Amino acid sequence: MDSYRDANVLVTGGLGFIGSNLAIRLVEQGARVTVVDSSISGCGANPYNVASVRDRLRVVPLDLSEAPQFRSEIAAADLVFNLAGEISHIQSMKFPERDLQINALAQLRFLLECASAKRGMRIVYASTRQLYGAPDYLPVDEGHPIRPIDFNGVHKAAACMYHLMLSRSGELDAIVLRLTNVYGPRMALNIPTQGFLGTFLRRALTGDPIEVFGDGLQTRDPVYVDDAVDAFLLVGFGIPPSRTYNVGGVEGLSLSEIAGVISREGGGMQVTQRAFPDDIKPIDIGSYATDCTRIERELGWRPRVRFDEGIRRTLDFFRQHLEHYLPPA
Ligand SMILES: NC(=O)c1ccc[n+]([C@@H]2O[C@H](COP(=O)([O-])OP(=O)(O)OC[C@H]3O[C@@H](n4cnc5c(N)ncnc54)[C@H](O)[C@@H]3O)[C@@H](O)[C@H]2O)c1
């Protein structure tokens, strides 16, 4: 990790949840960090996310589609961590062209500018398990068919292909991480469409009942954000043997178990069940579990933070900084 001392690093989406955790770690390791983030309404940008290091990083408040305007920052970067994106599957079904613009078109413009400003540069892209769609088998490895079931998955798949295609031709040197559900400090708790973990955590902090959709038996393997950040840092430099790696959590848990842990750590609010809402059922993928064998075998990464410990750390963070994430009405 010493590679990051004095490195010039560009972090797109660095005001959002994962990007800000990554930017903070990079600053702590002595990197010169520039964040590019246009604070898109409905995404997780929050200036408070980087408040602790604000005097030690630069923020360029531009959109990736405006990349020619920050070409000099691209040219000066030793590497790019590309985390800008919209994560909401529900929003992508309501506003598919908005999702296309954010997750595919803006990415294409940015990548072409990177290739022209600094041919062959290293870019690490935050991809998603959603590319795989409803799994044919569990756990899901990198060879699983790419068969997304919502617009977000299709557009993220396109952006993933742009990275890989431009790398095959030598224009870029991209590494793609396909992340499972990520949780931890600096999540956007106030955006209900950003996934069930943020919603469960918000309810734990407000003391409201936690609602589980369906029978609660579906499984997920949430990964704590510090573990995800470790994976990004690991593939940033050097020559990883592969271009794509799955990144998952320590353990597979049912949604009822996840709700139970969050309720227990949150003080014991009620957990209830209800049928899937009509707008979520068609884009539900069923159970998911990540096969992380490749990244463990090739690079020695594995998730370390167990879910109950990660939830304790997450709730501790939000209790200390609540007014910046759940402002009083
Ligand atoms: N959070 C998860 O569970 C998860 C899981 C799989 C993959 N991912 C991927 O990781 C990345 C980061 O996710 P997150 O949870 O931190 O999301 P987030 O919404 O918290 O942060 C994304 C940030 O990107 C910025 N942004 C979006 N499009 C932009 C653009 N075109 N130009 C400039 N800035 C832009 C937003 O303003 C926001 O600050 C996303 O690409 C997402 O698809 C996240």
- Give the residue, by CA position, lying nearest to ligand 1 atom 11: 83
Segment (H or E) for 254: strand 253-254
Best CA proximity match to 155, nearest among 101, 113, 205:
101
76 burial type by CB count under 10 A (0-12 exposed, 13-18 middle, 19+ buried): middle
- Among the atoms of ligand 1, which is closest to the Cα of residue 13? 24
Q: Is the dihedral of CA 92, 135, 159, 297 positive or negative?
A: positive
Please list the ranges in the chain whose pLDDT falls under 50: none
Assess whether the C-beta atom of 87 lies below 6 angstroms from ligand 1: yes
User: For 168-221, how does the pLDDT look when each residue is reduced to its tens digit (9 = 90+)?
Assistant: 999 999 999 999 999 999 999 999 888 999 999 999 999 999 999 999 999 999
| pLDDT score of 188 | 97
Best CA proximity match to 273, nearest among 219, 193, 209, 222:
209
Q: Within 13 A of 78's CA, how many CA atoms are on the CB side? A: 14
- Among the atoms of ligand 1, which is closest to the Cα of residue 40? 37
Cβ pair 70, 115 in contact under 8 A: no
Q: Angle between the 196-206 and 307-321 helix axes, to the nearest 10 degrees?
A: 60
pTM summary value? 0.98
- Cα distance between residue 35 and residue 278, in whole Å: 38
User: For 3-35, how does the pLDDT look when each residue is reduced to its tens digit (9 = 90+)?
Assistant: 899 999 999 999 999 999 999 999 999 999 999
| pLDDT score of 281 | 87
| pLDDT score of 43 | 97
Assess whether the C-beta atom of 184 lies below 6 angstroms from ligand 1: no
Q: For residue 87, give Cα distances in angstroms to 84, 93, 179, 195, 248.
A: 9, 12, 11, 8, 17
Location of structure tokens 């590679």: 3
Q: Which CATH number fits domain 2-186+224-249+290-305: 1.10.3720.10, 3.40.50.720, 3.20.20.210, 3.40.50.9100?
A: 3.40.50.720
Q: Angle between the 151-168 and 106-117 helix axes, to the nearest 10 degrees?
A: 20
Assess whether the C-beta atom of 37 lies below 6 angstroms from ligand 1: yes
| pLDDT score of 297 | 98
Q: Angle between the 255-266 and 307-321 helix axes, to the nearest 10 degrees?
A: 50
Burial state string for 241-271 with b = 16 or more CB within 10 A and e = fewer than 16? eebbbbbbbbebbbbbbbbbbbbebbeebeb
Question: Which residues on adjacent β-strands are paired with residue 82?
Answer: 12, 125
3-state class of 216 per DSSP?
Answer: coil
Ligand 1 pocket test, pick from 10, 34, 35, 37 with the greatest ligand atom count within 8 Å of Cβ, gives: 37
Where exactly are the structural domains of the chain? 2-186+224-249+290-305
Give CA torsion, residues 255, 280, 150, 242, to 10 deg. -10
| pLDDT score of 280 | 87
Residue 41 makes CB contacts below 8 A (sequence gap 6+) with none
- Cα distance between residue 226 and residue 185, in whole Å: 9
- Cα distance between residue 289 and residue 18, in whole Å: 20
